[in-house]
Each structure stands twice: as structure tokens, then as C-alpha cells.
Amino acid sequence: MKILLDTTYLLPLIGISVEGIPDDMLLRLINRRYKIYINYIALFELSAKGAKYIAQGKLMPDRVLRGINALIHDERVKKIEPTDTDVLMTAFRLRTKIRDFIDCLILSTALHYCDILLTEDEELHKLRDSTWFNEFKEGINPDIRVMSYTEFAKRHTRL
């Protein structure tokens, strides 16, 4: 099963814990043999969040760099360019309905490469009940599922 992770799930790699999400979630998924994907745009978001915490004195720069470099060099995590032609074209189309273009890129990446998008983003969760989205995904990946970590963990109890 191919899973695209939203940036939230990468925050523990740079030292930011997220309530309700195990700090070792990425490692658990890898150990369970899930194929993990991210869009490189998530590295930008991770850097921006890290910079905010560094400016507030909550993190040291080398902690953020170690986490980002570990992710960059981890061959078990497939990285997709935000400039991938299919991803970008679909993201442009999604932008007519989704305000945040980074979310469009992440969702588009999942549509083109994965079975599941794991995200805590409520706007993306609302798409599951959206007629336009269900029609939109038919031509790309009709079986894509948008889930939160909690939903995923309930269905995959070994996690």
C-alpha cells in the first residue's frame, strides 16, 4: 500500500511532537512495509515550521537540519517533485476549489502516486463527502482515500 504523508506527520523528525500522533509513526509505517511518499514541498513546510520554532528559541537549528537531512537521504521514503508535470497540472485544477496551493500539490501527488493520503487537514477531509471531488478523482485515481492517522490506525490495528 502506498501512503502519501502530509507534513504534519514529518514534524517529529525535526523535534516537534504532534498530539495524538506517535513520534515514531513514520518508522512504524516503514517497518510494516508500507511504501511511503512525500512531495518535496513538505520539506519546505518542514523547514518553515522549524524556522518558526528556532526563532522562538524552542528548537536548535542543527536539530531541524538533522531531521530534514535524514528524510532527504532516507531511500525508504519516495520523494516526488512539486514540478512533476502530472502533479502540477492536477494541482492547478484543484486550486479552483482548494484555497491552499501547497495542499493542492500534496493532494495531487497522492492522487497520482498513492492509495492513501494521510492528513490532519480538515479541508482535505471534507473532500471525502464532496461530489465534485469524487467525480474529479474518477479520471485519476478513483480508489484514493483521504484519512487521518486515527482513522488509519483503527483500520490497521497493528500500527
The whole-number pLDDT of residue 159 equals 58
Dihedral in degrees, nearest 10, Cα atoms 7, 44, 98, 154 = -10
What is the chain's pLDDT, residue by residue, as a tens digit (159 residues)? 999 999 999 999 999 999 999 999 999 999 999 999 999 999 999 999 999 999 999 999 999 999 999 999 999 999 999 999 999 999 999 999 999 999 999 999 999 999 999 999 999 999 999 999 999 999 999 999 999 999 999 988 665
* Residues 147, 117 contacting (CB under 8 angstroms): yes
Grid coordinates belonging to 113: 502516486
The residue among 120, 107, 128, 110 whose CA lies nearest residue 152 is 120
What pTM did the predictor assign?
0.94
The whole-number pLDDT of residue 156 equals 81
**What ranges in 32-141 are assigned the alpha helix state H?**
41-55, 61-73, 85-94, 101-113, 122-126, 131-138
CATH match of 2-155 with 3.40.50.300: no
* Residues 47, 54 contacting (CB under 8 angstroms): no
The whole-number pLDDT of residue 157 equals 65
Q: Where are the domains of the chain?
A: 2-155
Q: What letter represents residue 100's amino acid?
A: D
The C-alpha atoms of residue 4 and residue 112 are separated, in whole angstroms, by 10
Q: What letter represents residue 129's amino acid?
A: D
